[in-house]
Amino acid sequence: MKTVLRLIGSTFILAMLVWALTINLAIAPSQAAIRQLEEAPGQMVYQSRQTLKDQQGGSWQAIAFKRIRPDDTAVIYLRLVGFPGTAEIDHSQPLTLTDSMGKTLTAADVSHDMFTDKAQMEPDVGQYDLQPILMQLELAMPLRLTLATLDQPEIILNVSPDVVGEWQSLTVQK
């Protein structure tokens, strides 16, 4: 009788574990997917959107995107957007990307591509050219992004290796 009760108890516990695992897999957040948009006839945009935290715990939207123009030229940019009043980005400085081994790369600020009039430029939005450096980033290493600001110490954003991999996957989008 004790053996039967133990078997029933063990089976019940195993069934509960399988059920809990199934529920967790069903509601676990999925990795963000690359989004595809047609901005205009013949002009495609592929995007990866992530939320990154700065050293103060503030949230930043990180949108890595590849734009393919009708003439088949392509650019890959990273747009960083803070909440209004978060920081005033210094657009005269590049974005600095540093991996966990200390390798440092820079991405040129191309925020002027977003706005035709400099007066329209949002102080808490920066856009950077990732194309020349994207494939130099190591997939297995986290990154630290450093944003120069005009009104406070630099902003530091941490990026996981999974996000770096998603950004690099933009290069194969056609």
Residue 25 CB contacts under 8 Å (≥ 6 apart), including other chains:
none
Residue 166 CB contacts under 8 Å (≥ 6 apart), including other chains:
31, 32, 34, 48, 50, 64
Q: 85 and 56, same structural domain?
A: yes
Q: 74 and 20, same structural domain?
A: no
Q: What does the block give as tokens for 29? A: 């957040």
Q: 42 and 22, same structural domain?
A: no
Q: 152 and 84, same structural domain?
A: yes
Instruction: Report the percent of the chain where pLDDT is more than 70.
Output: 78
pTM more than 0.85: no
Q: 41 and 23, same structural domain?
A: no
Q: 39 and 15, same structural domain?
A: no
Q: 89 and 66, same structural domain?
A: yes
Q: 42 and 121, same structural domain?
A: yes
pLDDT at 108: 97
- Please state, in angstroms and as integers, the Cα–Cα distance from residue 3 to each residue in 6, 7, 8, 9, 40, following that order: 5, 6, 9, 10, 70
Q: 39 and 26, same structural domain?
A: no
Q: 131 and 48, same structural domain?
A: yes
Q: Locate tokens 């050219």: which residue?
A: 129
Q: 126 and 91, same structural domain?
A: yes
Give pLDDT tens digits for 25-84. 333 333 457 888 888 888 899 999 999 999 999 999 999 999 998 888 999 999 999 988
Indicate the number of domains in the chain: 2
Range of the domain at 127: 35-172
Q: 59 and 145, same structural domain?
A: yes
